[in-house]
Amino acid sequence: MTIKSIVDANYRFIAAYQEVNARVNQRQQALALYATLTVSLLAVLVALKPSEDSGNLPVEWLVLGFPVASTCLAFLNYKAERAITNLRKFISELERLGNAHEALPS
pLDDT digits (tens, 9 = 90+) for 53-102: 555 666 777 788 889 889 999 998 999 999 999 988 888 877 777 776 67
Can you tell me the distance from the alpha carbon of 78 to that of 52, in angstroms, rounded to the nearest whole number? 45
> Can you give the residue ranges of every domain in the chain?
14-46+59-103
pTM above 0.85, yes or no: no
Is the model more confident about 45 or about 100?
Answer: 45
pLDDT digits (tens, 9 = 90+) for 60-69: 777 888 898 8
pLDDT for 46: 81
pLDDT for 31: 92
CA Rg value for the chain: 24
Can you tell me the distance from the alpha carbon of 48 to that of 29, in angstroms, rounded to the nearest whole number? 28
Of 39, 49, 103, 90, which is closest to residue 69 (Cα–Cα)? 39
pLDDT for 104: 65
